[in-house]
């Protein structure tokens, strides 16, 4: 993926009251461009380039990039500066195995504890996801942002009755870390895949309170993205 030019963000006042909002804006803008591939993996993030591209000052950019290092989307080396984090099949395989383990545990607990309100959240999230999935057939690139949001809402709704704070916290980290890979697999259709049918099967099993089936389907669903990535990126081993 090649870097593309982006509209320059208007410079705002550097008063203390606006400093935080500037960092938030820089963080959100750069994060989105990394996730969408506009800033390709391993791109060197020079301050001169970033200032010209986005219009933010050096101190604002440094704090935003430091946050992105904490999110594992950017790497930092002494004397070498910042780079967009690389992607690899090995990294995603490790991430996938861990996410499958955590999400299955959270889903099983959620189905066990779920009440009518939980069912309502799952139904509403599935309905919103289905509407955007119907648009993916004609143009997945244009629907990436909305699909990612609706997909996140659906998976969060499924585990929303899980009472474990730590399972929910770990799940959120893993889901976010896999976003770049999901976006790549969405627009690179190297294998035939019906994502809507996968979500429908998970939805039906969850509402039927069949935890064993729902967990199996969720695991299969997550691992199919790894299958796509294995075809896009050769293994280093």
Q: Is residue 106 part of a domain?
A: yes
- Per the CB < 8 A criterion, the answer to whether 85 and 72 are in contact is yes
Instruction: Identify the domain boundary among 84, 102, 125.
Output: 84
Do 107 and 177 lie in one domain? The reply is yes
Do 138 and 212 lie in one domain? The reply is yes
Do 193 and 78 lie in one domain? The reply is no
Our CA dihedral for 168, 26, 64, 146, rounded to 10 degrees, sits at 20
Q: Is residue 166 part of a domain?
A: yes
Distance CA 107, CA 122 (A): 12
pLDDT at 227: 86
- The domain of 70 spans 16-84
% pLDDT > 90, the chain = 60
Q: Is residue 6 part of a domain?
A: no
Instruction: Identify the domain boundary among 55, 84, 113.
Output: 84
Site of tokens 């009472």: 163
Higher pLDDT, 152 or 189: 152
Task: Answer yes or no: is pLDDT of 99 > 90.
Answer: yes
Do 215 and 143 lie in one domain? The reply is yes
Task: Answer yes or no: is pLDDT of 146 > 70.
Answer: yes
pLDDT at 237: 55
Handedness of CA 214, 207, 121, 193 (dihedral sign): positive
Do 73 and 97 lie in one domain? The reply is no
Q: Is 235 helix (H, G, I), strand (E, B) or coil?
A: coil
Do 217 and 100 lie in one domain? The reply is yes
Tens of pLDDT, residue by residue over 10-38, are 444 455 557 778 999 999 999 989 988 88
Do 104 and 220 lie in one domain? The reply is yes
DSSP category for residue 37: T
Do 218 and 112 lie in one domain? The reply is yes
| CATH number for the domain harbouring residue 78 | 1.10.10.10
Q: Is residue 60 part of a domain?
A: yes
Do 23 and 39 lie in one domain? The reply is yes
Do 53 and 123 lie in one domain? The reply is no
Distances, alpha carbon 53 to alpha carbons 35, 190, 236, in Å: 17, 32, 33
| CATH number for the domain harbouring residue 192 | 1.20.120.530
Percent of the chain that is helix, strand, coil (3-state, to 5): 70, 5, 25
Confidence of residue 206 (pLDDT cuts 50, 70, 90): very high
Do 224 and 116 lie in one domain? The reply is yes
Instruction: Identify the CA nearest to 92 among candidates 217, 234, 198, 196.
Output: 234
Task: Answer yes or no: is pLDDT of 218 > 80.
Answer: yes
Do 52 and 135 lie in one domain? The reply is no
Total tally of structural domains belonging to the chain: 2
Instruction: Identify the domain boundary among 84, 110, 128.
Output: 84
Q: What is the pLDDT averaged over residues 107-124?
A: 98
- Per the CB < 8 A criterion, the answer to whether 158 and 135 are in contact is no
Task: Answer yes or no: is pLDDT of 44 > 90.
Answer: yes
Q: Is residue 217 part of a domain?
A: yes
Distance CA 206, CA 99 (A): 18
pLDDT at 4: 43
């Amino acid at each position: 993926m090649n870097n593309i030019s982006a509209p320059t963000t208007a410079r705002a006042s550097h008063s203390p009251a606006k400093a935080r909002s500037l960092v938030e804006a820089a963080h959100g803008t750069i994060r989105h461009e990394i996730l969408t591939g506009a800033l390709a993996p391993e791109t060197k993030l020079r301050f001169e380039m970033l200032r010209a591209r986005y219009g933010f000052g050096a101190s604002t950019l440094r704090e935003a990039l430091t946050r992105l290092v904490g999110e594992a989307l950017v790497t930092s080396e002494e004397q070498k500066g910042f780079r967009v984090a690389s992607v690899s099949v090995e990294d995603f395989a490790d991430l996938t195995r861990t996410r499958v383990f955590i999400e299955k545990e959270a889903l099983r607990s959620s189905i066990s504890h779920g009440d009518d309100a939980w069912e309502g959240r799952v139904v509403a999230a599935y309905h919103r996801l289905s509407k955007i999935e119907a648009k993916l057939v004609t143009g997945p690139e244009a629907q990436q942002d909305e699909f990612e949001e609706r997909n996140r809402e659906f998976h969060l709704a499924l585990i929303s009755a899980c009472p474990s704070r730590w399972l929910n916290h770990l799940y959120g980290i893993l889901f976010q870390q896999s976003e770049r890979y999901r976006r790549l697999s969405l627009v690179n259709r190297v294998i035939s895949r019906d994502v809507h049918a996968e979500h429908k099967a998970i939805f039906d099993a969850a509402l039927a309170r069949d935890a064993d089936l729902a967990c199996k389907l969720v695991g299969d669903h997550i691992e199919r993205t790894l299958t796509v990535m294995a075809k896009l990126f050769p293994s280093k081993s």
